[in-house]
Structure 1
Amino acid sequence: MRRAALCALLGLTACALEDADLEQRTAHLNLGSRVDAPLCLGTVRAAELEAERIQLLLGTTPGPSDVYLGIDAVRENCIEGATGCAYFGEVVYTDFPSLSHELVHAYAQPTDLPFLEEGLAEALSGGAWKTSTSGVAEFEARARAR
């Protein structure tokens, strides 16, 4: 299932199932790629730094998360119209601009208050609500002081 999703996310019509894998591994992420179409190392580094930042802010230290980047993976695994989705402690499907938001969902403990979870994801990702950078910076400073 995951391999088929990776083929779809990369938009590869000739992708053999054995070609798709989570080949880019960092301390916080396992990113999907293909040997003949690897993720740019700058993308891998940016994603890793973002995962590290969010884990620091949330005070969590889960194992590496499986992340599939690409709109096709989102279309196959998330609700219609979504730009990404995350399953707590399991896997993230997202386009790159929504990666921070979805990583918050992947790392934050789920609650029975979805509006609170969405607010947290928006605030920590600097999403559509255009969170004040001073408020986020203050939150980050407090998290680092722990």
Structure 2
Amino acid sequence: MADDRYFRSILVLTSIFQGFGWGSIIYFAAISSIDPQMYEAAVIDGAGRFKRMFYISIPMLVPVIAIMLILSMSGILDAGFDQIFNMYNPRVMNVSDIIDTYVYRKGLVEMNYSYATAVGLFKSIIALILIIGVNRLVKMIGGRDHALW
């Protein structure tokens, strides 16, 4: 935690560990909603495990994947403020500083409220543009059924 060479790898590993449970719940629920008769018919037709995965599981999960992509895009600029703020210290500040910790430092520590608000608003506008762009991309690729609006 005090060496900036390891901070990014620790951050990535803890982020994966943090999101793994929620993602697995969502995808297990989506997989359990697939009709088992489709798998049985594929087995009777001679499909192996990988063919069942590529021709049944993944196509049936495309709507869930699209929604999860759109929802995760909203948090891509967030970068886990809580996680970084808890591991944040002056020794790793050069590699751990993100927009949210910068806004925190400028707004609450240095009491420059207007500048911190402007930076936070700019980040929110960029996040909205990313969400709209990904939604349009999903709509172009998968049709209107997979997009949010």
- Normalized per residue, the structure richer in strand is 1
TM-score of the superposition, structure 2-length normalised? 0.22
- Normalized per residue, the structure richer in helix is 2
Greater Rg over alpha carbons, structure: 2
TM-score of the superposition, structure 1-length normalised? 0.23
Query: Greater relative contact order: 1 or 2 (C-alpha under 8 angstroms, separation 6 or more)?
Result: 2
